């Protein structure tokens, strides 16, 4: 019997989950849950990193009261980081990737390096949120901060450092920076030099599922918990989710649904060519040095943000209620491109959607149900476009689409995705990032042999749901309209 704690922090909430492995299946149990609300001060949007670490400690205390924990591991969203000075002090609160400091930084980078060269070396999708553009903005506007910085640690690595005092960078999270050479799997120092980014900030890269140390004696004393191992799993939540995809086949398509939708496939090595660059598909790193060839698509963010806005107006609905209203709304009224620039920032999302529809000469969704339906249909259609792009690049056909993550609690979204992609959807587990975090800890401890065995265990631990495509004709027509809208 092995008991491990998974700390899984997403862009809107985090949780501490206990994973118990009896040699055959994994049982997961929630120990502690907390919100992850960004804080804006003087126009800068920060993560409340100390509060987040406090919440992880709360999880440790609660778990320690009842269980003997073998190991712990952290996974979080990608791209963001904290800076430490020489003595190891955190210099400032980490800034949120949705902060405006990266505006225009992509163009700025392209003054010093061509788009082709940048893609060829990193294999990463171009997104202004990427670490490279965040650091670039520091070189332009916060040079004095960079001068004081000795080490840059991405969020899961920063948490690992807080737990152990060890400063390393885990491979999967490093691959979200757009500063890693995808083929060499090492920091791209040449690229850093071309962009004026100091390479001394970056620490040694360790593979996913590496033992990095023990919980520090100070923390054990403070929290009155026993010593345990600290593992760098896949620090990147997307890669934890991918490790938990219960696929039997070697070649499969997955869609991890949370604040972001990550759609792609797993490859032995990165796929970097003119076509993948044109389609802006990323090659991120995962367990076993594998490449996940995927696209970051705006996900449930639009629904989360709309809901937040309606709450502000005094209209609070659960996600289940929103789904019900969407179900009762008129189909195929209007669509949006979820990745259109205006939707990436916080604000009045319902109005932004209406404005988009007005501007593009479509019907304007007035009620809550119409807005939520528009988002769900648009997401499903976007998934279809991305699926086709991936198929074109890999020259593979896929028998099913594996959906994992919190978003699959929306049966409507799963069904729409199956319809739009005209593909069977296998949905589950909801807690994929947690399962992935747990199995990677088990692999690091030698309790599970490899990813194949890990996926078998997950298949046995939780039965996924299946959705068959329906309404092919209407969705094909919708797809034509959607493609026109985006062209």
Q: Does residue 338 touch ligand LRH according to CB under 6 A?
A: no
DSSP code of 95?
A: B
The window from 76-84, 305-313, 328-336, 359-367 that contacts ligand LRH (CB under 6 A) reads 76-84
DSSP assignment of 320-337 equals: HHHHHHHHTSPTTS----
Q: Which is nearer to ligand LRH, 70 or 237 (CB)?
A: 237
Minimum distance of ligand LRH from residue 82's CB (angstroms): 15
Minimum distance of ligand LRH from residue 163's CB (angstroms): 20
> Applying CB under 6 A, which of residues 160, 176, 378, 394 lies at the interface with ligand LRH?
176
Which 184-203 residues touch ligand LRH, going by CB under 6 A? none
Given the residues 99, 237, 337, 419, select the one marked as catalytic.
237
Q: Tabulate helix, strand, coil % of the chain (nearest 5).
A: 45, 20, 35
Q: Does residue 293 touch ligand LRH according to CB under 6 A?
A: no
Separation of alpha carbons 216 and 229, rounded Å? 10
Question: Catalytic residue at 237?
Answer: yes
HSE at residue 106, side-chain half, CA atoms within 13 A, is 12
Which residues 6+ apart lie within 8 Å of 148 measured at CB?
83, 85, 91
Judge contact between 108 and 116, C-beta under 8 A.
no
Q: Which is nearer to ligand LRH, 228 or 240 (CB)?
A: 240
Binding string to ligand LRH for residues 82 to 101, with x set by CB under 6 A, is what? ---------------x----
Peptide bond into 429 cis (omega under 30): yes
> Applying CB under 6 A, which of residues 19, 64, 78, 286 lies at the interface with ligand LRH?
78
Separation of alpha carbons 367 and 303, rounded Å? 14
Which 237-266 residues touch ligand LRH, going by CB under 6 A? 237-238, 258, 260, 262
Which residues 6+ apart lie within 8 Å of 145 measured at CB?
83, 91, 92, 138
Judge contact between 289 and 183, C-beta under 8 A.
no
Minimum distance of ligand LRH from residue 248's CB (angstroms): 25
- Closest-by-Cβ residue to ligand LRH is 78
Minimum distance of ligand LRH from residue 115's CB (angstroms): 20
Which 440-479 residues touch ligand LRH, going by CB under 6 A? none
Minimum distance of ligand LRH from residue 266's CB (angstroms): 15
Minimum distance of ligand LRH from residue 127's CB (angstroms): 8
Separation of alpha carbons 403 and 64, rounded Å? 33
Closest among 327, 467, 315 to 403, alpha carbons compared: 467
Two tokens at 399?
């028998």
Which residues sit at the interface with ligand LRH, rule CB under 6 A? 10-11, 77-79, 97, 129, 176, 236-238, 258, 260, 262, 296
* Active site positions, annotated: 237
């Amino acid at each position: 019997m092995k008991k491990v704690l998974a700390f899984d922090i997403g862009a809107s909430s985090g949780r501490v989950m206990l994973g118990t492995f009896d040699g055959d299946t994994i049982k997961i149990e929630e120990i502690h849950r907390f919100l992850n609300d960004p804080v804006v001060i003087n126009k800068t949007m920060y993560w409340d990193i100390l509060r987040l670490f406090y919440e992880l400690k709360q999880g440790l205390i609660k778990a320690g009261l009842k269980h003997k924990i073998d190991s712990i591991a952290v996974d979080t969203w990608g791209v963001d980081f904290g800076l430490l000075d020489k003595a190891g002090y955190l210099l400032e609160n980490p800034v949120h990737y949705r902060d405006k400091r990266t505006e225009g930084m992509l163009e700025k980078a392209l003054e010093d390096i061509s788009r082709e060269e940048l893609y060829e070396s990193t294999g990463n999708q171009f997104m202004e949120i990427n670490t490279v553009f965040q650091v670039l903005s520091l070189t332009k506007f916060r040079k004095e901060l960079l001068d004081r910085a000795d080490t840059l640690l991405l969020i899961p690595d920063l948490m690992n450092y807080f737990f152990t005092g060890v400063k390393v960078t885990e491979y999967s999270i490093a691959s979200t920076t757009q500063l890693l050479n995808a083929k060499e799997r090492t920091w791209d120092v040449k690229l850093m030099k071309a962009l004026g980014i100091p390479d001394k900030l970056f620490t040694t890269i360790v593979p996913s599922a590496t033992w990095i140390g023990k919980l520090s004696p100070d923390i054990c004393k403070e929290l009155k918990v026993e010593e345990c191992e600290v593992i760098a799993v896949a620090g990147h939540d997307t890669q934890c989710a991918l490790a938990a995809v219960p696929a039997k086949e070697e070649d499969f398509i997955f869609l991890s649904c949370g604040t972001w939708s990550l759609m792609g496939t797993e490859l032995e090595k990165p796929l970097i060519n003119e076509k993948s660059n044109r389609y802006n598909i990323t090659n991120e790193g995962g367990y076993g040095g594998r490449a996940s060839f995927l696209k970051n698509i705006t996900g449930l963010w639009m629904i989360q943000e709309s809901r937040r806005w309606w709450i502000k107006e005094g209209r609070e609905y659960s996600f289940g209620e929103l789904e019900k209203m969407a179900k009762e709304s008129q189909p195929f009224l209007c669509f949006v491109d979820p990745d259109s620039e205006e939707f990436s920032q916080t604000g009045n999302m319902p109005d932004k959607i209406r404005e988009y529809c007005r501007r593009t000469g479509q019907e304007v969704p007035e009620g809550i149900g119409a807005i939520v339906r528009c988002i769900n249909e648009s997401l499903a259609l976007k998934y279809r476009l991305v699926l086709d792009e991936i198929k074109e690049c890999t020259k593979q056909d896929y028998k099913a689409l594996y959906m994992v993550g919190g978003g699959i609690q929306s049966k409507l979204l799963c069904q729409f995705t199956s319809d739009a992609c005209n593909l069977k959807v296998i949905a589950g587990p909801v807690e994929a990032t947690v399962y992935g975090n747990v199995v990677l800890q088990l692999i690091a401890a030698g309790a599970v042999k490899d990813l194949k065995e890990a996926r078998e265990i997950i298949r046995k631990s939780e039965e996924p749901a299946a959705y068959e495509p329906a309404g092919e004709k209407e969705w094909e027509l919708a797809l034509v309209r959607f493609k026109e809208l985006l062209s």
